[in-house]
């Protein structure tokens, strides 16, 4: 099976790297030619562009920064889609956009696998990230061997649109806890609590989370470089808000978070690292929210393992 991968950025490059590391015949494309050259040096082939890749490959994967970017790429691929071709969308996108584009791909004879990832760039780099997949079960079965080379836990989430909806929900939750952690750590610093102790107190308690175990370390070390920028965070929270608006669900936290992120972008820059939000509180209080002993970058020290399907728990009625 010949695979094409379009989008070699901070997440896509790591996912494509996992495929290459695991022996997949891989063609790649990105607007940044230097990224393509790096993959060529590692054994991949230059794909030549979306249309050429869809013509030559059985499966083409996209991992791009916005729904508009994905739509533009699919427009180029559509003339080359035919029976047996699969488009795998691994971008964080809008479910409505997936549902708009999918019929175009299917009308040409192709299949669609919607496969966003969750778990951070450091886990994408080691093949230990989680992957949601929406689409027909037969399409899931066809791409499952690829998914297990890029991720450890793979969840079939149902019909198209479900995976993107779930992904923006998880990013909304992660952003909520990031902002709460910024406030919590700043208050602990103001109260004179040792921040190393505060970190461990959160980690062993009901207050912990994946975000704490990762991003809090980068906040406290002073690195503040989680490889995920405010423009991307704002996009994802905005997509979550759009879902709420579409279904007329009144929210209190989401609009406040969007406003906080907007202030962060105004002060720090549109594409500042998201964990630099702590710096707004440092500026407001005059405090330095850092501590010794924390890493400057996140490294996934879990060994790479073969991926597996996560089975949804069901209640049984007798």
Asked if residue 19 lies in contact with residue 5, where contact means CB atoms within 8 angstroms, the answer is yes
User: What does the pLDDT profile of the chain (318 residues) look like in tens digits?
Assistant: 899 999 999 899 999 999 999 999 999 999 999 999 999 999 999 999 999 999 999 999 999 988 899 999 999 999 999 999 999 999 988 899 999 999 999 999 999 999 999 988 889 888 999 999 999 999 999 999 999 999 999 999 999 999 999 999 999 999 999 999 999 999 999 999 999 999 999 999 999 999 999 999 999 999 999 989 999 999 999 999 999 999 999 999 999 999 999 999 999 999 999 999 999 999 999 999 999 999 999 988 888 888 999 999 876 544
Burial bucket for residue 192 (CB in 10 Å: 0-12, 13-18, 19+): exposed
Write the DSSP symbol of residue 112. E
Q: What local confidence, expressed as pLDDT, does residue 300 receive? A: 84
The model's pTM is 0.91
If we measure between CA atoms, which residue out of 279, 235, 228 comes closest to residue 257?
235
Q: What CATH class is the domain 165-285?
A: mainly alpha
Q: Enumerate the domain spans of the chain.
A: 3-159, 165-285
What kind of fold does domain 3-159 have according to CATH?
A: Rossmann fold (3.40.50)
Which ranges constitute the DSSP H helices of the chain? 12-21, 33-41, 50-56, 67-77, 95-107, 121-124, 137-150, 162-190, 195-203, 210-221, 230-246, 253-268, 278-285
């Amino acid at each position: 099976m010949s695979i094409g991968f379009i989008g070699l950025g901070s997440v896509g490059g790591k996912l494509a790297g996992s495929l290459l590391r695991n022996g997949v015949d891989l063609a790649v494309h990105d607007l940044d030619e230097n990224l393509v050259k790096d993959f060529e040096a590692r054994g991949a082939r230059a794909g030549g562009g979306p249309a050429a890749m869809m013509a030559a490959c059985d499966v083409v994967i996209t991992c791009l920064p916005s729904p508009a970017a994905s739509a533009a790429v699919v427009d180029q691929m559509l003339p080359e889609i035919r029976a047996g071709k699969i488009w795998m969308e691994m971008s964080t996108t809008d479910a409505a956009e997936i549902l708009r584009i999918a019929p175009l791909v299917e009308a040409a004879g192709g299949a669609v696998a919607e496969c966003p990832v969750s778990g951070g760039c450091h886990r994408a780099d080691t093949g230990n990230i989680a992957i949601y997949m929406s689409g027909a079960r037969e399409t899931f079965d066809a791409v499952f061997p690829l998914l297990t080379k890029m991720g450890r836990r793979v969840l079939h989430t149902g019909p198209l649109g479900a995976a993107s909806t779930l992904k923006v929900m998880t990013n909304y939750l992660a952003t909520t806890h990031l902002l709460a952690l910024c406030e919590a750590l700043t208050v602990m610093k103001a109260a004179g609590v040792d921040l190393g102790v505060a970190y461990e107190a959160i980690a062993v308690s009901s207050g912990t989370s994946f975000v704490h175990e990762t991003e809090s370390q980068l906040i406290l070390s002073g690195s503040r470089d989680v490889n995920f920028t405010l423009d991307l965070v704002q996009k994802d929270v905005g997509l979550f808000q759009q879902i709420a608006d579409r279904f007329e669900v009144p929210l209190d936290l989401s609009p406040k978070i969007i406003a906080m992120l907007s202030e962060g972008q105004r002060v720090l820059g549109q594409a500042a690292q998201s964990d630099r939000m702590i710096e707004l509180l440092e500026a407001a209080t005059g405090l330095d929210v850092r501590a010794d002993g924390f890493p400057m970058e996140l490294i996934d020290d879990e060994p790479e393992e073969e991926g597996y399907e996560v089975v949804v728990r069901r209640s049984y009625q007798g």
